Structure 1
Amino acid sequence: MSLMMDDIKYFVTVCETLNITRASEIIGISQPALSYSIKRLENELGGNLLIRLKNGIQLTKLGEEFKQRSRRLLYEWEQAQNLANPESGLIQGSYTIAVHPSVALYTLGAFMPSLQSDFAGLDFNFIHGLSREMTEKVISWEADFGIVVNPIKHPDLVIHKLCTDEVTIFHTKNAQDKLIYDQNLAQSQYILKKISKRTSFSGVLSSGNLEVVAKLTSLGFGYGLLPTRVAAQYKQLEKLKEAPVFKDEICLVYRPEKHNNTVSKKIIQTIKSSSF
């Protein structure tokens, strides 16, 4: 890398840690050297990238914008370095897959065995969170692929439907009169609006993890708002009759410009052709 490319790489590490001390340890250079590197970038760009705080740093508006562009620039640079022998470079590389944790439980097993067999030299990194957050990871170049629920159309993304699911209310026999759900999910809000006029519960149990919601529901602590594929892990759960249903689409999302190489295309085809 040239001196400027090193500066950009260092800046990205600072963005990931939001701490100059930690970033310098990861990179393996002194704090003054790292600070001088950032200053070189700021001089080139004509503005401040960082705001120094007592307990770390915060990116400026310019810093936020440059962070996104830096990720893309570094990716394109890596691609350019592999032009002479793209296959060998990519097969020894790594891919990051952003996936909702509940979706990961029933999708990764469908295609990871094939990928492990076909590309033994590849490393795979999984990051988890809400589907809208995972989609943003793909848009911002932080993840190569996303497997997400109901992605919103975006001009930079290819969206391919993999399978469907349904979110509704599940319960066990003699379940307590409580409602158990994840307040952060749009599906939960939709179902709550549908049932509010005809059904009332004595209380609420809330969790940001659908596996926890499913477990509590299976123990009879209440009525759980769950995707059918998640509820299927517990045989004692049954759907509440005439409960409202929210239909989900589970999709593969990716930036097409990142995947013009043979390996990426094979990975995409493997995921698309898997049975979920």
Structure 2
Amino acid sequence: MNIKQLKAFTEVATNLSFVEAATKLHLSQPALSLSIRNLEESLGGKLLSRTTRSLVLTQEGKALLPVAKNILNQIDAAEREMKKRFSLELGHTSIAAMPSFAASVLPKIIKRFHSKYPHIKLSVEDVLSDTVIDMVSDDLVELGISFEPKHNSDLVFHPLYKDQFIVVLPPSHPLTQSHTISWDELLKFELITLQSPSSVRELIEETLSQHNMTLNPAFDAHQLATVIRMVRDSLGVAIVPALCKAQALEAGVVCRDINSPSIARRVGVISKPITSLSIAAKSMLETIKLYSSELTRQIELK
């Protein structure tokens, strides 16, 4: 039993006429008769009773007709839905982004995506960068925006730009007089960092270790937003990704470049292999990539 046979049977059973059914199906009558005969043989009995004057359904044919109609309706519905999904008139995708990106750039990307694909639903998770990687790896979201993973052969990293870390200072801090600050100067003051484990904290510690320096924070917090607020309240100074610059300036702190050493890390989109992504996710990925040059300008990394 196949779809073509069910369509043939349904048309014949509905019209009780091989002539009308053949016309609607654009088949010859012999081809239609053969299709019905093959269906009956596959099921093991007659579905239609033919005489020289009439055509009627057998009891088995009457039992099959509503089932066949339901199957064909479901196939039609599935075909319509798939066509809508492939043409992006219907669909859903999900994305996880680290807070600094989610709060600054992601809303602009979503706005652009929604204006082009208004029927695609999007779920957004605002989580720490390490959690972003876990959520993509565990198939909880299709796309993630975070720093480049160090080790994860199952994931694909689509680089967008390099995020240069910056210093955030209370407005009255003496280091605000300098345009660029060295680590030797910075380490003389109380530091506020993210708690361990954190990819940001880990990167800072690794970089300092390579230059024979040690990070000894006075305070640590779970979120970069909290770190920035603590700086604003003059509890210390902090090193944060440049993605946080707009958020930091809005909070009323001062931002400065840092060197000796400088710290930078690539930001990009993390996903499973592209072939496993939905059409909606692929379109979102392309939207983000096209927007990446603007992202660079917005965080003033050019």
Return the TM-score normalized by structure 1. Answer: 0.60
- Which aligned runs of 4 or more in structure 1 are off by greater than 6 angstroms? 195-201
> What is the correspondence of 1:145-164 to structure 2 with a 5 Å cutoff?
145-152=143-150, 154-164=152-162
> What is the correspondence of 1:1-276 to structure 2 with a 5 Å cutoff?
85-89=81-85, 91-152=89-150, 154-172=152-170, 173-174=172-173, 177-184=189-196, 185-192=198-205, 194=208, 204-235=218-249, 236-239=253-256, 242=259, 244-255=261-272, 256-259=274-277, 261=279, 263-274=280-291, 275-276=294-295
Q: Which has the larger radius of gyration?
A: 2
Deviation at 1:183, TM superposition (A): 2.0
Show CA shifts across 1:136-157 (max 9, x none): 2112211011111122353432
Task: Assess, with a 3 A threshold, how the Cα gap between structure 1 residues 243 and 91 changes in structure 2: closer, same or farther.
Answer: farther
Unpaired segments of 5 or more residues in structure 2? Answer: 1-76, 175-187, 296-302
Show CA shifts across 1:45-76 (max 9, x none): xxxxxxxxxxxxxxxxxxxxxxxxxxxxxxxx
Show CA shifts across 1:218-264 (max 9, x none): 33221112112213433441337546332111111122233263x44
Across the aligned residues of Structure 1 and Structure 2, the Cα RMSD in angstroms comes to 3.0
Partner Cα separation in structure 2 for residue 143 and residue 211 of structure 1: 24
Deviation at 1:171, TM superposition (A): 1.6
Task: Assess, with a 3 A threshold, how the Cα gap between structure 1 residues 251 and 82 changes in structure 2: closer, same or farther.
Answer: farther
Deviation at 1:268, TM superposition (A): 1.8
Q: Percent identity?
A: 19
Partner Cα separation in structure 2 for residue 162 and residue 121 of structure 1: 26
How many residues align structurally? Answer: 194
Return the TM-score normalized by structure 2. Answer: 0.55
Partner Cα separation in structure 2 for residue 132 and residue 200 of structure 1: 21
Confirm or deny: 8 A CA contact 1:171 1:240 kept in the other structure: no
Task: Assess, with a 3 A threshold, how the Cα gap between structure 1 residues 121 and 224 changes in structure 2: closer, same or farther.
Answer: same
Confirm or deny: 8 A CA contact 1:97 1:146 kept in the other structure: yes
